[in-house]
Chains A and B, each alone.
Chain A
Amino acid sequence: MENSSLLFFQLAPWLVFLPVLGLLINLTIGVKLSEKGTGAVAAIASGLTFVVASLLVYSLVRQPEGTVVPLASWIHVGTLTIDWAFRVDTLSATMMLVVSGVGTLIHIYAIGYMHEDVRFKNDLGRYRRFFIFLNLFIAMMMILVSGNSYSMLFVGWEGVGLCSFLLIGFWYDMDTLGRPSFANSDAAKKAFIANRVGDFGFLMAAFMMFWKFGSTNFTEVFAKVTSADPGTILWITLFLLLGVAGKSAQIPLYVWLPDAMAGPTPVSALIHAATMVTAGVYLVSRSAPIYALSHDAQYIVATVGAVTGLFAATIAVAQYDLKKVLAYSTISQLGFMVAAVGMGAYVAGMFHLITHAFFKALLFLSAGSVILGMERGHHHLAHGHAEAHGTEVFNPNDMRNMGGLRKQMPVTFWLYVAGTLALQGIFPFAGFWSKDEILADAFKEFPHVYWLLTIAAFLTAFYMGRQIWLVFFGNPRSEVAKHAEESPLIMTAPLMVLAFLSVFGGLLNLPGVDTLTSWLKHTFESVGVAIEPGAFNLNVALVSTGLALLAIFLSWWLYLRKPLVAGQIDPLKKLFGPIFTGMENKWYVDEGYQFLFVDRYNDLARFLAQKVDWDFWHEWFHNSIIRDGFVGLTRFLADPVDLGVVDKISHVLADAVQSSANSLRKLQNGFVRSYALSVMLGVVVILGYLLLK
């Protein structure tokens, strides 16, 4: 043990406190701050979080076994003890570094992006809210990755879900093109509900852990899981997989992620590409000791990941929306990661997670830059001749409107190319190393996963090539594209950092050097999971690189040999026809879900509302039984009982009194002598009574 005064583990709670502090500042005195000030506060809070994460990593280098920093007691009920503690080990520190690092860059980028966004319209309240949400997201993500138990992890898990919901629906009163609509808030709700399904699985897994092991603490669960029966382990892992599928957008719950592109582009980059959606991968890595005990679970997870990887890649091929392509690409790449961690290649999965965070954030942010460039062009044009563009709604996300942007936006172009090459897995970019490590592991462990992922990688290279050709090469297919403008430095500077990372990220875990492997080894081996250095397979690398190059060539052949002109049908559609249409329409999964779940749910809701609630409860039970019964009872009480008995009694009494009064009134006839006769009668009667007594 080294001198502990040099270690910074005790700073771990500041990972959460700093972004919370940032959001509190913006929340309270943010009204006084300018636009730049608001963004600066949020970015500085995030940046300080990155500093703390770096210090933790520095401490971990000195003391790789890590530590647990307790902060507060949370739930103490019976035998259940859940505390808020920060687990600082190499795995969580890696995530912290990625989240805070990429997060900080995106914060900086967002300062410029949100200012430029045409939907912003100088609404400072929204601007501030955006950064509050971003800081909240960083805090929640930190809780997620630093949690010491599944319960704490779930807090962050739900927290980031909430932030995701809030930020997808950030432009809640419009659709993606800025028209008044509920489309964005619908997308947010879709994301939230799809995540609920996943969260159900997570909760069930946590409940089973508590039921079987009496704790949700990582250490205790991992210690007891080795003696658990296989059924329990399988159920826990499958329920966890459901949670992973929700959060990391795997089949069958991936449908929310493409719609999540309704949020601002920095959000798409940060939450829906780089960090939050990888929480599922992190969860599986964290639960490695459980998954390691069940080969079936590993098989299922790997297959789900691989199938998702291929499935999403096919859809990405036929999308026209710039961000939708990236969204399906993200799903596909998440499939790679899930497949990797499913196979037990945790390091490869984490490696791909990191590099993906770099290049996908870069791609999204560059795409945002492109979109803003298009919007600036549109703005420019609209000022030139307003009447021509008065009614027509221009979609700046549509690749069919782009083309030739290389000349207008050179910086963005080169950044985009760097990200694209990394994603396509071209040597020596970051993606090449991480993807090949996964493929090599798959080749060794699960051949079917390897084949699925290889095809997915081929398609990845193809759709990214298609995107590059369509966006940046050829001739502008719209007036707007001709007038697109480059983005300011505040946006491109973070991109340059990300581009650097995308190019050189592979250095983290070069075959033979295995920096990341030995780094993460500490964590995994401490919980009894053996880690082998990633096997570099030259054949696999050559095949995948060759396929990638082939795909790029094919895309060039199709899209640039004869550059597309405005209004032209996608050349791929001529080749594949119905298949392309299926891909274009996302294989009708949304429609299927609509038919299978949404419509059924609506039918059920309508049935419950109309038949059960209205017809049965309201009309029948309430009206017929209660109301009519009450009316009948009251009528019975009123007519036969009240009128018939009670009133009859009083009427009889009244009539008796009246008739007797009538007859007695005759006595009161005013004739004095008759009164005297009565007195006389009384005298006689009383006297007779006295005499006879």
Chain B
Amino acid sequence: MVPLNYYLALSAILFSMGALGILIRRNSLIIFMSVELMLNAANLSFVIFARQWAANSASVFNGQIFVFFVMTVAAAEVAVGLALIVVIFRSHQSIDIDQLNNLKG
């Protein structure tokens, strides 16, 4: 049995790479993908902890159910987010995140 710490470490690495993706990419679609990657890494952590607490029958599925909800929210988020990207592209003719700088003081 591979120690769960390894899995958690993988989750952390993936999460960090997602965050790094958000920071370094300008393409809003890829940024969006990075967000999905981060969500995925978080989901992995949930599953890992669910696996850890599986012996306790009372809370055996809590982690997995959280993953399920996260997936649902992610799906909704993607639906809305991609719609937003489409609208932004229509108005700016670009999906470059650096050109969307209207939120400055």
Q: Do chains A and B touch in the complex (CB under 8 A)?
A: yes
A668: chain B residues within 8 A (beta carbon) = 103-105
B19: chain A residues within 8 A (beta carbon) = 676, 680
A665: chain B residues within 8 A (beta carbon) = 105
Task: Write the chain B residue with the least CB distance to A683.
Answer: B19
* 8 A-B contact pairs sorted by A residue (CB < 8 Å): A665-B105, A669-B101, A670-B101, A670-B104, A672-B97, A673-B24, A676-B19, A677-B23
Q: Is the CB of A670 within 8 A of B103?
A: yes
Task: Write the chain B residue with the least CB distance to A676.
Answer: B22
**Does chain A have a CB within 8 A of B56?**
no
Q: Is the CB of A669 within 8 A of B104?
A: yes
Q: For chain B, give the interface size range.
A: 10 to 19
Q: Is the CB of B98 within 8 A of A673?
A: yes
Q: Is the CB of B101 within 8 A of A671?
A: yes
Residue with the greatest number of chain B CB neighbours at <10 A, chosen from A665, A673, A680:
A673
Q: CA–CA, A677 to B19, complex, Å?
A: 9
Q: Is the CB of A673 within 8 A of B103?
A: no
B31: chain A residues within 8 A (beta carbon) = 673
Task: Write the chain B residue with the least CB distance to A677.
Answer: B23
Q: CA–CA, A522 to B22, complex, Å?
A: 136
| Selected contact of A673 from candidates B22, B102, B104, CB within 8 Å | B22
State the Cβ distance, B39 to closest chain A Cβ, in Å: 15
Per-position binary interface string of chain B over residues 79-105, scored 1 when its CB falls under 8 Å from any chain A CB and 0 otherwise: 000000000000000000110111111
Q: Is the CB of A672 within 8 A of B100?
A: yes
Q: CA–CA, A428 to B24, complex, Å?
A: 148
Binding site for A on B (CB under 8 A): 19, 22-24, 26, 31, 97-98, 100-105
Total A-B pairs, Cβ < 8 A: 31
State the Cβ distance, B27 to closest chain A Cβ, in Å: 11
A673: chain B residues within 8 A (beta carbon) = 22-24, 26, 31, 97-98
110-146 of chain A: CB within 8 A of chain B: none
B97: chain A residues within 8 A (beta carbon) = 671-673
State the Cβ distance, B25 to closest chain A Cβ, in Å: 8
Task: Write the chain A residue with the least CB distance to B103.
Answer: A670
Q: CA–CA, A665 to B98, complex, Å?
A: 17
Q: CA–CA, A677 to B105, complex, Å?
A: 17
Q: CA–CA, A672 to B25, complex, Å?
A: 11
B104: chain A residues within 8 A (beta carbon) = 668-671
A-B pairs, 6 with minimum CB distance? A670-B101, A670-B104, A668-B105, A665-B105, A670-B103, A669-B104
Per-position binary interface string of chain A over residues 641-672, scored 1 when its CB falls under 8 Å from any chain B CB and 0 otherwise: 00000000000000000000000010011111
| Selected contact of B23 from candidates A669, A670, A676, CB within 8 Å | A676
Q: CA–CA, A404 to B92, complex, Å?
A: 134
B22: chain A residues within 8 A (beta carbon) = 673, 676
State the Cβ distance, A649 to closest chain B Cβ, in Å: 27
Q: CA–CA, A668 to B101, complex, Å?
A: 10
Q: CA–CA, A477 to B20, complex, Å?
A: 139
Q: CA–CA, A680 to B15, complex, Å?
A: 12
Q: CA–CA, A668 to B19, complex, Å?
A: 20
State the Cβ distance, B28 to closest chain A Cβ, in Å: 9
Beyond contacts A671-B101, A673-B98, A676-B22: 13 other A-B pairs, Cβ-Cβ < 8 A, are: A668-B105, A669-B101, A669-B104, A670-B100, A670-B102, A670-B103, A671-B97, A671-B98, A671-B104, A673-B22, A673-B23, A673-B26, A677-B23
State the Cβ distance, B18 to closest chain A Cβ, in Å: 11
Q: CA–CA, A680 to B17, complex, Å?
A: 12
Q: CA–CA, A665 to B101, complex, Å?
A: 13
Q: CA–CA, A151 to B31, complex, Å?
A: 115
State the Cβ distance, A598 to closest chain B Cβ, in Å: 86
B23: chain A residues within 8 A (beta carbon) = 673, 676-677, 680
State the Cβ distance, A682 to closest chain B Cβ, in Å: 12
Q: CA–CA, A445 to B61, complex, Å?
A: 149
State the Cβ distance, A162 to closest chain B Cβ, in Å: 89
Q: CA–CA, A677 to B22, complex, Å?
A: 9
Per-position binary interface string of chain A over residues 496-507, scored 1 when its CB falls under 8 Å from any chain B CB and 0 otherwise: 000000000000
Task: Write the chain B residue with the least CB distance to A672.
Answer: B97
B24: chain A residues within 8 A (beta carbon) = 673
A670: chain B residues within 8 A (beta carbon) = 100-104
B101: chain A residues within 8 A (beta carbon) = 669-671
Task: Write the chain A residue with the least CB distance to B19.
Answer: A680
672-690 of chain A: CB within 8 A of chain B: 672-673, 676-677, 680
Q: CA–CA, A676 to B97, complex, Å?
A: 12
State the Cβ distance, A389 to closest chain B Cβ, in Å: 103
A671: chain B residues within 8 A (beta carbon) = 97-98, 101, 104
State the Cβ distance, B19 to closest chain A Cβ, in Å: 6
Q: CA–CA, A665 to B105, complex, Å?
A: 6
State the Cβ distance, A680 to closest chain B Cβ, in Å: 6
Q: CA–CA, A413 to B40, complex, Å?
A: 148
State the Cβ distance, B9 to closest chain A Cβ, in Å: 15
Q: CA–CA, A299 to B31, complex, Å?
A: 132
Q: CA–CA, A670 to B102, complex, Å?
A: 6
Task: Write the chain B residue with the least CB distance to A661.
Answer: B105
Q: CA–CA, A676 to B100, complex, Å?
A: 14
State the Cβ distance, A664 to closest chain B Cβ, in Å: 8
B103: chain A residues within 8 A (beta carbon) = 668, 670, 672
State the Cβ distance, A396 to closest chain B Cβ, in Å: 104
Task: Write the chain A residue with the least CB distance to B104.
Answer: A670
B100: chain A residues within 8 A (beta carbon) = 670, 672
Residue with the greatest number of chain B CB neighbours at <10 A, chosen from A669, A672, A680:
A672
Q: CA–CA, A630 to B79, complex, Å?
A: 75
A672: chain B residues within 8 A (beta carbon) = 97, 100, 103
State the Cβ distance, A547 to closest chain B Cβ, in Å: 123
A676: chain B residues within 8 A (beta carbon) = 19, 22-23
